[in-house]
Structure 1
Amino acid sequence: MLSFKLDTKDMSCRRLMRSFIIPNKATLLVAIRGFAAGGKAKKGSKGGDAPKAAGLSKEVKSTTVYGANILKEGGDPKILPDAEYPDWLWHLLDKRPPLSELRRKDSETLPFEDLKRFVKLDNRARIKDNNAGRAKS
Structure 2
Amino acid sequence: MALTRSGSWRSVIISKEAVALGQRTFAAAVGKAKKGSKGAASDAPKASILSKEVKSTTVVGANILKDGAAPKIMPDSEYPDWLWHLLNKHPALSELRRKNIETLPYEDLKRFVKLDNRARIKENNSIKAKN
| TM-score normalised by L of structure 1 | 0.62
% of aligned pairs identical? 67
Residue by residue over 1:22-78, the C-alpha shift from the partner in whole angstroms, topping out at 9 and shown as x without a partner, is xxxxxxxxxxxxx7xxx78984557xxxxx872222211110011111221201111
The match for 1:113 is 107
Pairing 1:1-137 to 2, within 5 Å after superposition:
12=16, 14-16=17-19, 19=21, 43=39, 44-45=41-42, 54-137=48-131
Show structure 1 runs of 4+ deviating over 4 A: 39-46
Task: Determine which structure has more spread, i.e. the larger CA radius of gyration.
Answer: 2
- Give, as a single letter, the amino acid of the residue that structure 2 aligns with 1:15: A
In 2, the alpha carbon distance for the partners of 1:97 and 1:69 equals 35
Which SS does the other structure have where 2:102 is aligned? coil
Secondary structure at the counterpart of residue 55 of structure 2: helix
Letter in 1 for 2:113: V
Q: Which residue of 1 aligns with 2:10?
A: none
Unaligned runs of 5+ in 1: 1-10, 21-34, 47-51
Aligned length, in residue pairs: 106
97 and 130 in structure 1: CA distance in 2 versus 1, 3 angstrom threshold: same
Would the alpha carbon gap of residues 95 and 45 (structure 1) be closer, same or farther in structure 2, given more than 3 Å must change?
A: same
How many angstroms apart in 2 are the aligned matches of 1:136 and 1:109? 38
Give the TM-score, by structure 2 length.
Answer: 0.64
